[in-house]
Structures are given as structure tokens and as C-alpha cells.
Structure 1
């Protein structure tokens, strides 16, 4: 069985070592890269095959936000990124998801949930905890009250079919599942996804969902 290859990036040695030990106990996961800051990580990433990065935010040299932005400059959109942080401020979480993170976990997360998040991000490209989902929905409610004409343009720029595909993406369905539900080929669904992302100016599925909820598009 091919294991999911993990990179752990955190400047706290004790936390990083504990995290690596926990992850390597899983039969499905393997830590292949450790780094103490963003610059160290990007240097080590060259030539290393990594599926999912567990990324701290507050680090010297290059922080997690800068690393996320740097990785998303690559059109391949790999590897997937899960932010690990002590910050629970709404705007901070939304900013990282819109920047291109695939998931956001607080550092006191249970190990079982961490493993679940890694698996879902690897397979579906997205994982939101109940806490993060609540943050996004609360923000959407506030934004709806403050809505300007910009929201109207976002929504009318998308066709009815694209809005339907967007809704199903936000509900966590895979491309194959969406294709089956609305009687399209997976290639056509991928085409809709690509056009939606181009129209909204987002980088990946997680940032697409964050944008859609924040701007009340679903």
C-alpha cells in the first residue's frame, strides 16, 4: 500500500518531533520531510515527493502564509497544505484558506482528527472542521448584510450549471460523484470547475469553497 507522504514544518522542535512520532505510527502515513521554517522547507522540497504539508504559521525566516503563497505560484497546485496554528481569529483563517490552504486545524486537535484531515485533503483536496465551517458561515452572514453590487456580479458571472457544480463541490462531492449526480462526464465537470475557479480568481478547491461561502454564492 502506498503511504501518504507528509512534510512537517514547525519551528518548535519538541512539537515537531511529537507530531512526527504520532504520524509515523499510522500504516497510511509516512513523514518524509521535516523543516524548522518555510525557507528550510522550500529548499528541502526540491527533489522530494510530498503529498501533504502540515504547516505552522508563526515561523522565522519565512512564515506559513508566505510558504502557502509561494507554493500556489506553482500551477500544479501540489502539495496539499494543512495549516496547524494556535490562531482562531476568523479573518486569519479565511485569509489562509483563500490564499490556497486545503485545510486549517488548531494545534490542540486530536490525533485521530489530524489523520482524518490528512486523508480527506489527500483524496478530496479539502477538509474543514466544524469550527472552521462555523467561522466561514458566520463571516458569510456578516458579508451578506454588507453586500455591495460586487456580489451580484460574482453570481451572475456563473451559469446555472456552474452554480450547481459549485454547490456540490462545497458539499464535499468528488468529481466522479458530481458527474454521476448531474449526468455529465467527469471531464465536463472538471471543465466547469476550472472555469469557475478562473472566473472567481481562486487557486484550488479549498479556496474556492472559502470564497463561495464568504461571498454567499451557495
Structure 2
């Protein structure tokens, strides 16, 4: 089995070194490099071709959001970005996800949580720290009070089942959970997800979830 190649981008040397030690201890993960800021991260991605970038949000020279946008927006890229931050109320989390990040995790997560987050993101799944999910949904609610018409029109390209799958993705369900909910095989769900991404011109499940909220297909409740 090929190891998951990870690049760590953070302006604090202790955090870079600490995460390197934790992740290198995992049998299926290899830290291939470190970056001191967003600009360095963009260059190191081109040089080292990692599978996952652990990206701090607040860095000098070029911040994590802009770096994420440049990395995920590169033609043909398959690199996943996992955003890391100290603050669960970070106002930039939503923008980082819109910029193309595949997940969000707090820096005080345990070694096991960090390693699992890397695996989840590398596999193409979306990941959000449970402690920030409510605040993120609240932000979706504020930002989606008036869905943009062009976005809403794109939902019409989906079949009824694809629309149903998209709604479940936005609710945070994994492929296995969606399969169980719809009483279909997990491979069938994977096929639906692939078609949804192609039809909507999205790169991963996280962008699909953002799309579902922005178009009003899924509406936050209880906030």
C-alpha cells in the first residue's frame, strides 16, 4: 500500500515538527516536507506533489486561504487541503472551505484524530471538526438567505436520486451511511457522487456540501 504523502504548512516551527513526529509514526503516512508560509506551501506542493496539505490559516507572506485557492485551483490537481487552526470560532473557516479545502480540524486534536483526518481527506471524503459544525452551519444560514440563480439552475441538471444523495452529503453523511439510508450498495453511492461532481463542476464532497447550502437545497435548522 502506498503511503499518504503529507506537506505541513505552518509558520510555527514547533507545530510543524510536532505534527511531523506524530504523522511519521503512522505506518501509512509520510511527511514529505514542511512549509513556513502560504507562498512556500504553494511552491512545495509543485515540487513535492503531496497527497494532503495540512494548512494553517493565519500565516505571513500568503495566508492559508489564498494558498488553498491556488493549490486546489491548479489544473488537474488532486492535492487535498486539510485546514488547521487553533480557534474553533475562526471566522475564516467558511472561506477556507469555499476556497477548496477538503476539511477542517483544530490543532489540539489528538494524534489519532489528526492521522484519521489525513486518511479521510486523502480518500476524498469531507471532514469537519464536530466542535465547529454548528457555527459553520450558522454561517451557511447567513450566507444563503438569497441563493444565486445561476447556482440554483445547476441543481436542475441532477437526477432525483443524485439530488437526494447531494442533500445527504451536505448533512455530513459518509458514503456508507448514505448507502444504508437509501438501501443501495456503497459502490452505487460512489457512482452517484462522481456524477454529481462532474455535472456541477465541483472537485470534491466538501465543495458539493457548500454548493447544497448555497443553493438552498439544504437549509440549516435550529440556528
- Regarding TM over 0.5, the answer is yes
How many angstroms does 1:75 deviate by? Answer: 3.1
For residue 61 of structure 1, what is the aligned residue in structure 2? 61
> Which residue number corresponds to residue 40 of structure 1?
40
Q: Deviations over 1:173-203 (max 9, x none)?
A: 17x95894499596565233311x23xxx54
Residue 24 of structure 1: aligned partner? 24
Shift of 1:104: 0.8
Greater mean alpha carbon deviation, residues 9-18 or residues 125-134: 125-134
Provide the rounded CA distance (Å) in 1 between the counterparts of 2:8 and 2:73.
20
Going from structure 1 to structure 2, the CA distance change for 1:60 and 1:179 (only over 3 Å counts) comes to farther
Are the counterparts in 2 of residues 179 and 189 from structure 1 also a CA contact under 8 Å? no
Q: How many Å separate the matches in 2 of 1:90 and 1:9?
A: 18
Deviations 1:25-46 (A, max 9, x none): 1112110111111222222333
- How much is the aligned-residue C-alpha RMSD, in angstroms? 3.1
Task: State the 1:130 CA deviation.
Answer: 1.3
Q: Does 1:193 align with 2:197?
A: yes
* Structure 1, unpaired ranges of 5+: none
What's the offset of the Cα at 1:206?
1.0
Q: Give 1:141 shift.
A: 4.3
Give 5+ residue unaligned stretches, structure 2. Answer: 219-223
Could you say which residue in structure 1 is the equivalent of 2:137? 137
Once the two structures are superposed, the pairs formed by residues 67-146 of structure 1 within 5 Å of their partners are 67-89=67-89, 91-142=91-142, 146=145
TM-score norm. by structure 2 comes to 0.79
**CA spacing shift, 1:39–1:216, aligned 2, 3 Å:** same
* Matched residue count: 212
